[in-house]
Structure 1
């Protein structure tokens, strides 16, 4: 079966033959760089990603390893993306154009650009915007597949959360975050002593190079077997408690620029560098106390009539003919009607986006004119605003997320390795020029 798939996919390489009166001339438009189960990675995809990485590196004044070393990492990523896309298709995961556009809009805003400016920036850099757009879709699908597949393999118990909260309260280092870089020197699952020794030797050499001032990102791209290799090994900002225990014990109180390792794990030898350090502030959030009246449109009650009905309620309130609470109890179709529409104190971000946006424009004591949300038509009375210290609740949420992320990182790598081990993957040698 594998040979049959291989034969079909190789035959599908895009070759156009132009006939002349003398002879046939073959023009190679593309070729298969790798087979991944029933899919392929094309040479054009490899070249596009290589070009993008080089352009980004040039823009950031980042040095890169040799083309051959970079190609290995690029092939690895494209194979993973292809594999995850196939799984996504089987799972029915789709990213709509609207979701994709929203993501691209957010990316543009992060760079303080409009979407049109963001698009032009990619074109000016020599990129193809439509290809870039589709690559973002693939990244979103891959992320969704990974989260869906790995999440079910992770369990965080309430006791684990409480234990971590206790530790977090005891540690003064809870206010410190580290920006970490990570390099993983892998060894095989059933490693012999010779394999372990060889990996340890390579890891020691990497540490030596880093201590001598070599570029961390360049070495990560060249040598790391971790999923973040193409990002220069950057793990982002992490609190001591977010790191694997082996890391946290060694990283704690280390100064900026420190290189720690090699640290042996179940996957290989890890080398960690403290790229930067920063403190953390106390968490405060704004809460609002509001009441609302909800009218749901129906076959009998149109949107226009629902809007007009709510406006008539506001007119009665302003004329002193009825109170907001009285009208809510009599007419509101929401579960808060028995409380006169009282929503209590709440974080406005927990509400429907239209409801949240309406609250953001209001002052204490104001009424909002009728507006529509996904639930129906509303009017709102804003009673008060306050800033609250949400550190306790945030710490509990954070403790859960820390434990989840701690397990997620290792489990994600393990799941991806198992998935690749079960797949049929064949990589073809690059044509020598």
Structure 2
């Protein structure tokens, strides 16, 4: 009778207590849970885009990495490195950054930016572009007005714009792009730049240099078209992030207004 009662108590205990986590290794008494290895495997598989599969070989490699990490962490703690002022300061900084990111994520989540808000922002954007022009231009950036005028003279004599952009432009990107500026909307440019580009006929070059804070520019207008707004689905992620960032900025502004700042 006594034995059966003890057995019943043990059975009850085994039912009520949570099951011990399964470990894949124990390093100086510290267990590495299987869930930790599972997460590491999942991260590698996901980041590889499916090229890397969950295999025994991969698990063994990651298990070795987890063991090495634990050995390193234990030794660093044994040496008291986690108590050094520089380390403590850095940990405080990292904690502050993580807390900030957590707050921003919480604000963005509670803002609950939905399809209706994104569509409204898209409609505003489309209205801003309505009736405007896009321009595809090339540029050669020079250090002085005299240099820019020399380039214009070379172009008038038949010099190839892209070649001169690669060899004469002070913009390092021009060596790869040939001075290609891509498409830009004239209504969203600096008004002085838009005016300068508008004065150049399609397929022609600047008649005189244009000065900016970056130097002196010689332009070539490759094409002009009615403004084109990308479809909603293409801009949806960008607009969603923009609305979230605005919600975060507004929340921070409200917090400052409520705070006692001396």
Give TM class, smaller chain: 0.3 to 0.5
The higher radius of gyration belongs to: 2
More strand by share: 1
Query: What is the TM-score with the length of structure 2 in the denominator?
Result: 0.46
Which structure has more RCO (C-alpha within 8 Å, separation ≥ 6)?
Answer: 2
Query: What is the TM-score with the length of structure 1 in the denominator?
Result: 0.29
More helix by share: 2
